[in-house]
Chains A and B, each alone.
Chain A
Amino acid sequence: MDWFELLFAAEVAVGGLLSGVMYALVAIGFVLIYKTSGVLNFAQGAMVLFAALTFVNLVERGVPFWVSVAVTLAAMTALGFGIERTVLRPLANRSPMTLFMATLGLSYVIEGAAQLIWGTQVHRLDLGISNAPFEVWGIFISTFDLVAAAIAAALVAALTAFFRFTHTGLAFRAVADDQFAALAVGLRLDRIWATVWAAAGVVALVAGLLWGARLGVQFSLSLIVLKALPVLVLGGFDSILGAIVAGLVIGATEKLAEVYIGPFFGGGIEGWFAYAVALIVLLVRPSGLFGQKRVERY
């Protein structure tokens, strides 16, 4: 392998790492909800779609950028509280699998409603971030990807600070550690769940804006949930750090595989390759890279 090929490989890997950050961004929304309520929220992708559609339609109707962000945030918060009230509360104390299936139904409802309200056409979303590549040691990196990674890092920092230093964050951690103990000391489980779902809605908004700027805002945005699932399986459903590391691992291996292994199969392997990677790692380490080790993973 000569110097140029090596450079090319490095460029592919860096591109993969950066798109891995985008996967992690979606996965973090899952982790938030899974940690505090034990629900694998399949509707996270639908929430991303809902947030992006709401935002882009407001902007297209001439609402200023930050007002649109605020309105969408309010909508996502309302959605979180609504879901807690109508879906989670009646299903409290039911098996995690039941709740998972309920979120499957929820994803249908949100996807349908989002498109019913805002229409099914494709929207362009311009966040004003330049897409021009720049060069670092001979490797071209997309500015947009780098800014997206920075935003994701800021989001993770904010979430970490929130969990560590605020009263609500402490309550979140208490519920994640032991639901019954948290109830026993007087924490309001319903309010905490609603808040967590609202927080996941905020993460969905950020993910929706960045992914929407990249792919256009349309129905397929809700399918990024399928990109996030192998990341979650690999990183463990309950670890934010795991989601990030697994996102990076899967992003990089996926892009490298697409370039170096894909041609042998006629390409297009990105649909299942991430799942294969996750499965192989899981066969060796059943709790994922960072997941809590328990006898039963239910």
Chain B
Amino acid sequence: MSVFSASVTGARLATGFSLPVLVVLSLGFVAVPLTASPYVLEAILLPFLALSLAGLGLNLLTGYCGQVSLGSAAFMAVGAFAAYNFDLRTGLPIPVSIVLAALTAAVIGLVFGLPSLRLRGFYLAVSTLAAQFFVQWALTKFSWFSNGSPSGIIAAPVIELAGLRLDSAVGRYLFSLTIVTAITLLVHRIVSGPEGVNLIAVRDNETAAKVIGVPVLRTKLVAFALSSGIIGIAGVLWAFTYLRTVEPAGFNLDRSFQILFIVIIGGLATIRGTFLGAGLIVVFPLLLGRLSAFAFDGLIDAGLIKLIERIVLGGTIILFLIAEPNGLSAILSRLSARLRALVRRG
């Protein structure tokens, strides 16, 4: 119930470009490119955008439709490798390659979503792991996917739009931001329209949904295809704009969990929560690194920090599940409500 109400407030906030959305968009498109340092763009904003999009895709499936997937990174890998191969082998413009990559990821997602027609809950969650292992295996095993590169690591092509080379950090950032904005709007339309109601109905009570005439099987498959397609594009952004290399190793199980954590921390079935969660997940390790460098002056080595990061991350997940199951989005709602009350009073 509370998840549902959170999604409703989220929808109201973003309908027809409300003020906060406009502020964020103008900051993102104008202020950030003018002021942000290359470090902020490369180390924070580019991974943040890619992971936000992946989180958005998973949230559509897990938050709205209630199907837990542990194989998100596999669809990122499918997207990245598909875009690379379409670009390499067809010479089509990059945006076309990206659309084709999204379609490829959607089809693969559809195939791995088929078990959802018969399995639920844990049985489904575990079976999505099959996608994770199969895709990673296929991409490393068949060198055709990486164009015969011996190391399996390949340089991503430079993004070119109408003769314009988006090689710089700012260029890649704006390209990424445009795609993320467009897809976020699309997802917002979907979840606040009739299809979104179907998704939530399937999540909340499958039998009841079937009784009132929701096409349950079709809705689940659409959710899987759409979610995988979006996560596929996130994979393209991750490989082409952030890392600028394409390799299967980065799309491992830990990445899948990271995307799931983004959705949990941000809040299930909220769009803005996904962005908040992704922000936390990206910034947190950097902060921890800085903090330990500052506090212990390099006495703690990098391996140790990785372990501490793991512990704190796991602890944060548990803490959020216990204390704030609706995630950062709910915290933000409360804060803004309190702020509004203060403004009204003062």
* A286 and B117 alpha carbons, distance in the complex (Å): 10
The minimal Cβ–Cβ distance linking A260 to chain B, given in whole angstroms, is 17
Are B121 and A96 in contact, with the CB atoms below 8 A?
yes
Cβ contact within 8 Å between B311 and A101: no
* Interface of A (DSSP majority class): helix
Question: When A233-B123, A272-B130, A279-B130 are in contact, do A98 and B311 touch as well, CB less than 8 Å?
Answer: no
Q: Which residues from 264 to 285 on chain A have a C-beta closer than 8 Å to any C-beta of chain B?
A: 265-266, 268-269, 271-272, 275-276, 278-279, 282-283
Please tell me if A194 contacts chain B, counting CB pairs below 8 Å. no
A87/B120 in contact, CB under 8 A: no
- The distance in angstroms between the C-alpha atoms of A106 and B261, with both chains bound, is 13
* Closest Cβ–Cβ distance, residue B224 to chain A (whole Å): 15
B127 touches A107 (CB 8 A): no
B133 close to A (CB within 8 Å):
yes
- B307 at the A interface (CB under 8 A): yes
Q: Is B168 part of the contact surface with A, judged by Cβ < 8 Å? A: no
Partner of B308, one of A116, A278, A286, A296: A116
* B130 engages A108 (CB within 8 Å): no
Chain A: minimal CB distance from B255 (Å): 14
Determine whether the beta carbon of B123 is less than 8 Å from that of A297: yes
* Cβ of B115 under 8 Å from chain A: yes
- A87 CA to B317 CA in the complex, in Å? 11
A111 — which chain B residues lie within 8 A by C-beta? 310
Instruction: Known contacts A115-B307, A272-B134; decide if A96 and B122 are in contact (CB<8 Å).
Output: yes
Q: Could you tell me how many residues of chain A have their Cβ less than 8 Å away from some Cβ of chain B? A: 48
On chain A, the residues within 8 Å of B119 by CB distance are: 282, 286, 297
CA distance A53 to B346 in the complex (A): 59
In this assembly, does B298 line the interface, its C-beta being within 8 Å of a C-beta of chain A? no
Chain B residues, CB < 8 A from A154: none
Task: Choose among B133, B141, B260, B318 the residue with the greatest number of A CB atoms under 10 Å from its CB.
Answer: B318
Contact with A along B93-137 (1 / 0, CB 8 A): 000000000000000000000010011111101110110011011
Q: A87-B322, A232-B126, A278-B127 are in contact. List 5 more A-B contacts (CB 8 A).
A: A102-B318, A105-B315, A112-B309, A279-B130, A286-B119
